[in-house]
Structure 1
Amino acid sequence: MATIVQFENVGLRYGSGTETLSDISFSLQSGAFYFLTGASGAGKTSLLRLMYLAQRPSRGIIRLFGEDAVVLPRDRLPGFRRRIGVVFQDFRLVPHLSAWDNIALPLHVAGMPVAEINEAVREMLAWVGLADRAEARPATLSGGEQQRVAIARAVIARPELLVADEPTGNVDPEMADRLIHLFGSLGKLGTTVVVATHDLHLLTRLPQAQMMRLDRGRLHDPTGLLRFPTAAA
């Protein structure tokens, strides 16, 4: 399998304080599913921000899709970001757009024909259980409904890399299982999926998933499924 994401001795520091992330090294493979776990404040959101190019590291090398993302020119960033789907903790829906139009947005940006967009959005709304809320705007949706719209928007374009920050935090356990299996099905289409969660129950839902655990800004490998290079390597 191709390597989609590679970190080499990455560190992240905000301002002049201590490092939020230290000596992070790992590789993520095409079509694989990874859970990113760790206590609150361990650095999960910061690590995801580095993956979807919202933050540059203080040191180290990050390669995405085979290219050095740290030195990527600004004019190439939009094209790279279109290859990445992101589910944010705070949803970040466009407030004046309906659920339908929020979900359709990545496909419009990609230039997909309207007929194909309509079919894809209709299918996605049904999958996340919001077929009857297509015309609702975010302010009229519950937190769980907004989360499902945000997830549908992130996955509809079948990104090469999907990163999700606590994507099941606002939905009931049944919907959480459904969404995790939706993420898992993307892997069969070649998408690399990284889900940050503190919900240990979810870790049992996809036996094929691998686990990355952050502890105070450093990665640990409790399962042995991921091999993180050492400085000597």
Structure 2
Amino acid sequence: MAALMANIVQFENVGLRYGSGPETLSDVNFGLKSGAFYFLTGASGAGKTSLLKLLYLAQRPSRGVVRLFGEDAGVLPRARLPGFRRRIGVVFQDFRLVPHLSAYDNIALPLRVAGVPESDVEAPVREMLAWVGLIERSRAKPPTLSGGEQQRIAIARAVIGRPEILVADEPTGNVDPAMAERLLHLFESLNRLGTTVVVATHDFHLINRIPTAHMMRIEQGRLSDATGALRNPPKSA
């Protein structure tokens, strides 16, 4: 694993509410070290997805400070948000592939949006397709792909820009156990290259496959554990 450096993410007394309702997240404090691997656990509705949305800048906090790459993300000018978001890869639970684009073009999308010349697109896209074992499906469109294949395309799209942070929301929830373990190995490979990885999951079988990972557990919108490496995790999330 890459040498760990200073915190790449810092949450300071963060709260989040939607509209005028009660807070979904309350008094959240934690830091993520550059190059580390984290699991985020918690029951359904505990606030995992909301916390991840703050991480990848889909939401701004209602209060408190979210620092990304040393800057307060809550006061970033709108014009700077795209550049920040390109430094963060996201694997959504529902994939969010573009249905009328091929697997190749879905993976290439972040590069093209970033203005990478077309002559420089093919090689990294082919590399990603090989990395996830789907070279032979490069021209297939999402509706013709299995759930596991779609998930692998979504992961390839998320990491093609070599993000500094990868955020994955229940990435193994729609695949069988063998595929889930394969996907976890992909995340491990990226982490070894220096990317900070945050995986939200309730599957402790997978969590135990990376005993050096750190665990953050969220309960009713508050983090109950956001510090050490895994030690004797409970039987279920």
TM-score, reference length from structure 1: 0.92
Amino acid at match of 1:83: R
Match of 1:101 in 2: 105
With 164-173 and 21-30 compared, the bigger mean Cα shift is at 164-173
Match of 2:61 in 1: 57
Amino acid at match of 2:167: V
Asked if 1:182 is matched to 2:186, the reply is yes
Distance 1:103 1:214 in 2: 32
Distance 2:41 2:161 in 1: 26
The SS at the match of 2:74 is coil
Match of 2:160 in 1: 156
Q: Where in structure 2 are the equivalents of 1:61-72 lying within 5 Å?
A: 61-72=65-76
Distance 2:123 2:96 in 1: 24
Q: Is the 8 A contact 1:181 1:206 kept in 2?
A: no
Asked if 1:217 is matched to 2:217, the reply is no
List gaps (5 residues or longer) in structure 2: 231-237
Asked if 1:173 is matched to 2:182, the reply is no
Amino acid at match of 1:32: A
Match of 1:92 in 2: 96
Structure 1 residue 144, shift from structure 2 partner: 2.0
Q: Is the 8 A contact 1:97 1:137 kept in 2?
A: yes
Q: Is the 8 A contact 1:147 1:167 kept in 2?
A: yes
Distance 2:189 2:121 in 1: 20
Structure 1 residue 53, shift from structure 2 partner: 0.5
Distance 1:176 1:127 in 2: 15
List gaps (5 residues or longer) in structure 1: 227-233
Amino acid at match of 2:65: I
Q: CA RMSD in A?
A: 1.6
Match of 1:125 in 2: 129
TM-score, reference length from structure 2: 0.90
Distance 1:66 1:107 in 2: 25
Residue of 139, 145, 170 corresponding to 1:141: 145
Asked if 1:7 is matched to 2:43, the reply is no
Tell me the number of residue pairs that the alignment of Structure 1 and Structure 2 aligns.
226
Amino acid at match of 1:146: Q
Structure 1 residue 157, shift from structure 2 partner: 1.3
Match of 1:19 in 2: 23
Match of 1:40 in 2: 44
With 117-126 and 185-194 compared, the bigger mean Cα shift is at 117-126
Cα distance 1:115–1:91, how it changes in 2: closer, same or farther (>3 A)?
A: same
Identical amino acids, percent of aligned pairs: 78
Structure 1 residue 128, shift from structure 2 partner: 1.8
